[in-house]
Amino acid sequence: MKKVAILGSTGSIGKSTLDLIERSPDKFEITALTAAVNVDALADAARRTNARLAVIADESRLRDLEDALQGSGCQAAAGADSLVGAATGDSDLVMAAIVGCAGLRPTMAAVEAGKTVALANKEALVTAGDLMTEAAKTSGATLLPVDSEHNAIFQSLAGSRIDQVSRIILTASGGPFRTASAEAMRNATPAQAVAHPNWTMGAKISVDSATLMNKGLELIEAHYLFGLPSERIDILVHPQSVIHSLVEFIDGSVLAQLGSPDMRIPIAYALAWPERMPTPAQRLDLAAIARLDFGEPDLERFPALRLSREALEAGGSAPAALNAANEVAVATFLDGKISFPDISKLVDMALQENESPAPRSIEDVFEIDRKVRTDVTAMIEGRCA
Ligand SMILES: NC(=O)c1ccc[n+]([C@@H]2O[C@H](COP(=O)([O-])OP(=O)(O)OC[C@H]3O[C@@H](n4cnc5c(N)ncnc54)[C@H](OP(=O)(O)O)[C@@H]3O)[C@@H](O)[C@H]2O)c1
């Protein structure tokens, strides 16, 4: 029995993880589940899976969680320290699936504790990449990529040495606005932006997929996971999301991982690693798909991708600043208060204003995050005033 703790168990990745685990009750045992505010879904999952610990980040909901778990035998806890407790407590694998920089502290704690961490929470690695990879080296933690692209690269590398790799190629579906005009993008609504053509995901990552910031964050994530510089990480638009990413080796061979667009495939790979496990994901029918298309990303209509590469190449505090600005801008767009193109404009302005030194601890990352959030909020208030 593999003991699993799921951080962000009520989200899209968290629920898919639970789905797989509940299909293999003889292989996995849930030790801890966490959520931000969603007491009902957290308590329901804790009861179904006989979890030992359920943590709600919002301390004001502890009483509700205790009530919902009464008689279940599952311990209820709340707050930031309890999230860290869930990440570092008894488990063989921690699924890091909180969205945004909010996941950094517990994810880092799991890494520092030397855990095997299935990493979905890309923002944690983007904001604290050097610190997290150093911490993993020191503690002996293993980072297993859950993002479908990085999981595909991990599978395609199949243990090859990174000096045998000439480049990696991250595929991008292009999102819901791949072929939209600049005019249509100016008028895009939150509902249109979250309607991803191939994947069903949480709201924040769906908007990131529409701006291509998601691919930008993945570019930075790939740099930290695989240790390759920006110029050896390419982006290829591939609308069908069948090839999840590719590795080109120094001899010209290219290996790729293919599959239907169902996050349960990469999640299962991380859960079962170094073995494999069955999933209910639809099998790939290439004859029915018949053709696969590829193209270059349009950096004019999708400036977030260019900004992400600039942040990666600038290094230091730039990736954390990029992420913080994006998180505020996306939340404000989802609230209907700014336009779709404003997201990238705000990120651009925040990067230009960012003068913070490189973070030397995660407290420094939180300081950069706080400062950029304040600055971007002020920019938005200035625009809306
Ligand atoms: N969805 C995908 O297909 C996909 C694919 C690749 C990578 N990822 C990455 O995986 C991560 C999760 O994405 P998602 O789509 O699953 O997000 P989601 O559906 O929005 O779920 C987010 C989870 O995090 C919890 N959470 C939110 N804010 C929190 C906070 N301040 N403190 C503690 N917990 C918090 C939520 O709890 P509540 O339910 O209580 O709000 C929920 O459990 C993201 O980093 C995303 O980029 C997702």
- Crossing angle for the helix pair 213-226 and 303-314, to the nearest 10 degrees: 30
Q: Where are the domains of the chain?
A: 2-145, 147-300, 315-385
The pLDDT tens digits for 236-252 are: 999 999 999 999 999 99
Atom of ligand 1 nearest to the CA of 38: 40
- Sheet with 142-145: strands ordered across: 75-78, 53-56, 28-35, 2-7, 93-96, 116-119, 142-145
Mutate to test the pocket of ligand 1, among 62, 143, 201 (most ligand atoms within 8 A of CB): 201
Cα of 14 from ligand 1 centre, angstroms: 7
Evaluate whether 2-145 and 315-385 have a shared fold: no
Q: What is the pLDDT of residue 385?
A: 60
Question: Under a CB-based contact definition with an 8 Å cutoff, are residues 311 and 321 in contact?
Answer: yes
**Beta bridge pairs of residue 307:** none
The pLDDT tens digits for 91-135 are: 999 999 999 999 999 999 999 999 999 999 999 999 999 999 999
**Average pLDDT per consecutive 10 residues, the chain (385 residues; last block may be shorter):** 98 98 97 98 98 98 98 98 98 98 98 98 98 98 98 95 97 96 96 91 95 98 98 98 98 98 97 97 97 97 98 98 98 97 98 97 98 97 76
Cα of 166 from ligand 1 centre, angstroms: 33
Q: What is the pLDDT of residue 355?
A: 96
In SS3 terms, the chain reads as: CEEEEEECCCCHHHHHHHHHHHHCCCCEEEEEEEECCCHHHHHHHHHHHCCCEEEECCHHHHHHHHHHHCCCCCEEEECHHHHHHHHHCCCCEEEECCCCHHHHHHHHHHHHCCCEEEECCHHHHHHCHHHHHHHHHHHCCEEEECCHHHHHHHHHHCCCCHHHEEEEEEEECCCCCCCCCHHHHHCCCHHHHHCCCCCCCCHHHHHHHHHCHHHHHHHHHHHHHHCCCHHHEEEEECCCCCEEEEEEECCCCEEEEECCCCCHHHHHHHHHCCCCCCCCCCCCCHHHHCCCCCECCCCCCCHHHHHHHHHHHHCCCHHHHHHHHHHHHHHHHHCCCCCHHHHHHHHHHHHHHCCCCCCCCHHHHHHHHHHHHHHHHHHHHHHHC
Cα of 287 from ligand 1 centre, angstroms: 35
The pLDDT tens digits for 12-51 are: 999 999 999 999 999 999 999 999 999 999 999 999 999 9
CA angle (161, 167, 169) in 5-degree steps: 120
* CB neighbourhood size of 201 (10 A): 20
Cα of 98 from ligand 1 centre, angstroms: 4
Cα of 120 from ligand 1 centre, angstroms: 9
CA angle (222, 220, 213) in 5-degree steps: 115
Residue ranges of the binding site for NADPH? 10-13, 36, 38, 121, 123, 202
**Beta bridge pairs of residue 62:** none
Q: Which residue's alpha carbon is nearest to atom 34 within ligand 1? A: 36
* CATH class of this structure's domain 2-145: alpha beta
Ligand 1: list residues with CB < 6 Å: 8-14, 35-38, 57, 97-99, 102, 120-123, 147, 199, 201-202, 204-205, 263
Question: Under a CB-based contact definition with an 8 Å cutoff, are residues 379 and 346 in contact?
Answer: yes
Residue ranges of the binding site? 10-13, 36, 38, 121-123, 147-149, 173, 196, 202, 209, 214-215, 218
Cα of 30 from ligand 1 centre, angstroms: 18
Task: Please tell me the CATH code under which domain 315-385 is placed.
Answer: 1.10.1740.10
